[in-house]
Structure 1
Amino acid sequence: MDIKEAIQTRRSVKHYDPAHQMTEAEVNELMEHAILSPTAFNIQHWRFVRVQDTQKRQQILEAAWGQAQVVDSSLLLVLCADLNAWEKQPERYWQHAPQAAQNAILPAIENYYTNHHQGQRDECVRSASIAAMNIMLMAKGMGYDTCPMDGFDFDKVARIINLPHDHIIVMMITVGKKLEDARPRAGQLPLEEVFFTDSF
C-alpha cells in the first residue's frame, strides 16, 4: 500500500476481532517506525506503553467508559511524553552529530526549555501526535486498522500504567483487525475553507 492510499483509507475503527494477535515482529516493526517521527531538538520525548495485561485492559475499559476497542484490539498503546526529557542527558540526542553542532544545540535546548513549562508541554503533545500519525499510517500499510482515543479518564489511566510524575498522557491508540468498517466520513470541509496563502 502506498502512502497516498494509506492516508485516504485510514479510518478510526471501533470494532476489532478480539481473537486476532499481532506477532512480536509486527509490533516491533510498527514501533520501530513510530520512533522515526521528528521531535523538537531531537529530544524524542515520546514514551509508548503497550498494555497487554488483561486486568489492566479491563481497568482501562472502565476508564474509557466501556469502549470495547480497548479490550478487543490486538494492540493497545498509551502514548505518553516526558516533560523533562530535555534535561535528562540531552547529549544523548546529539551524540553522533559533529562537535560544532553539539556545541550549538545543547545550550539552545537548555535556554529554550528552562522555566518554559508551557513550551515543554506543547512540544510533548506535538511530538507524540506526530508519532501517532506514523503509527496509524504504518499500521494501515501493514494491513491493520487503528483508532486514536482521548475519550477516557486520563488520571485513572495514568494510575493504571504507573505514569511517572513528570510525564503526561497524550492519547491512546488501538490497533487490530477490523470486524466492521468505520462509518462513512461525516462531513469533510472543502479545502478552500481551511487552506490559505500568506494570511487569512
Structure 2
Amino acid sequence: MDLFSAIEARRATKHFSSDDRVSEADFERIMRAVLLSPTSYNIQHWRFVRVTDPQQRLRIQEAAWGQSQITEAAELIILCADTQAWRDNPQRYWANTRAEVQAVMLPMLEAFYEGKEQLQRDEALRSCGMAAQTLMLAAKALGYDSCPMIGFDSEQVADIINLPPGHLISMVITVGKASKPANPRAGQLSLNEVLLENRF
C-alpha cells in the first residue's frame, strides 16, 4: 500500500480478530521503520514494551477500564518516553559523525536540555508521537489495523511494566486485523479552518 493510501485507510480500530497474528517478519519490519522516525538531536527518547504475556495483558485491560482491544489485538505495544535520554551516554547518538561534528553537537545538546524539565518532557513525548504515527502507518501499509490509546490508568500500567524512573507512558498502541470496520470519520475540520499563513 502506498503512503497516501495508508494515511487515508488508517483508523482507530476498536475491535480486533483474536485469531489473526502479526508475523515476526512483519513486526520487525514495522519496528525497524519506527526507528527511522525523527527525534530531537537524534536522542531517540522512545522505549517500546511489547506485551506478549496473556496474564499481563489482562492486568493492563483492567487498568484500561476493560477495553477489549487490549486482549483481542495481535500486538500490544506500550510507547514509553525516556525524559532523561538526553544525558544517557549522548555520544552514541552521534557515533557515526565526524569528531568535529560531535565536538559541536554534544555540548549543544547538553546546553539545550540541562535544567529544563518541561522541555525534557515535551521533547520525549514529541518523539514518541512521531514514532507512534510511523508505527501505525507502517502497520497499515502491511495490511494491519491499529489503535492509539490513552484510555488507561497510567500509574497502574507503569507499575505492571515496571516503568523506570524518568520515564513516562506516552500511549498504548494495539495492532492486528480488525474484526469489524471502524466507524466513519466523525467530522474533519476543513483545511481552511486549520491552515493559516504567516500568523493567526
Q: Runs of 4 or more off by more than 2 Å in structure 1?
A: none
Post-superposition Cα deviations, 1:114-142, rounded to whole Å, max 9, x if no partner, equal: 11100000001100000000000000000
* TM-aligned CA deviation for residue 185 of structure 1: 0.6
Question: What percent of counterpart residues are identical?
Answer: 50
TM-score (norm 2): 0.99
- Corresponding position of 1:9: 9
Matched with 2:168 is 168
Residues in 2 aligned to 1:141 and 1:21: alpha-carbon distance in whole angstroms? 16
- Structure 2 letter corresponding to 1:89: N
The whole-number CA distance in structure 1 between the counterparts of 2:46 and 2:181 is: 30
CA deviation string 1:140-160 (max 9, x = no partner) = 000000000000000000000
**Number of the residue aligned with 2:71:** 71
Distance, in Å, in 1 between the alignment partners of 2:31 and 2:100 is 31
Shift of 1:110: 0.7
The residue aligned with 1:153 is 153
Q: Is the partner of 1:173 in helix, strand or coil? A: strand
- Residue 153 of structure 1 aligns to which amino acid in structure 2? D
Letter in 1 for 2:70: V
- Opposite residue 117 of structure 2, the aligned amino acid is H
Q: Matches of 1:33 and 1:112 in 2, distance apart?
A: 27
What is the TM-score of this pair, normalised by structure 1? 0.99
For structure 1, list consecutive stretches of 5 or more residues without a partner in the other structure.
Answer: none
Partner residue of 1:29?
29
Matched residue type, 2:158:
A
Partners in 2 of 1:193 and 1:82 — Cα distance?
35
2: CA distance, partners of 1:83 / 1:133: 19
User: Equivalents in 2 of 1:101, 1:147: separation in Å?
Assistant: 39
Partners in 1 of 2:10 and 2:22 — Cα distance? 19
Name the structure 2 match of 1:99: 99
Cα offsets for 1:25-79 (capped at 9, x unmatched):
1111111111110110000110000001011100000000010000000000000
Segments of structure 2 that go 5 or more residues without pairing to the other structure are: none
Q: CA offset at residue 83 of structure 1?
A: 0.9
Q: Is 2:193 aligned against 1:179?
A: no
Could you tell me how far apart the structure 2 residues matched to 1:33 and 1:173 are?
15
Q: In the TM superposition, what is the alpha-carbon distance from 1:81 to its structure 2 partner?
A: 1.2
1:192 paired residue number: 192
1:181 Cα offset (Å): 0.5
Give, in whole Å, the separation in 2 of the partners of 1:90 and 1:96.
Answer: 12
Q: CA RMSD in A?
A: 0.6
CA distance in 2, matches of 1:20, 1:140: 15
Opposite residue 149 of structure 2, the aligned amino acid is: M
SS of 1:135's partner is helix
* Whole-angstrom CA distance in 2 between matches of 1:94 and 1:75: 32
Query: How far apart, CA to CA, are the structure 1 residues paired with 2:69 and 2:141?
Result: 20
Q: Which amino acid letter does the alignment assign opposite residue 65 of structure 1?
A: W
Q: 2:52 maps to what in 1?
A: 52
Letter aligned with residue 177 of structure 1: K
Q: How many residues align?
A: 200
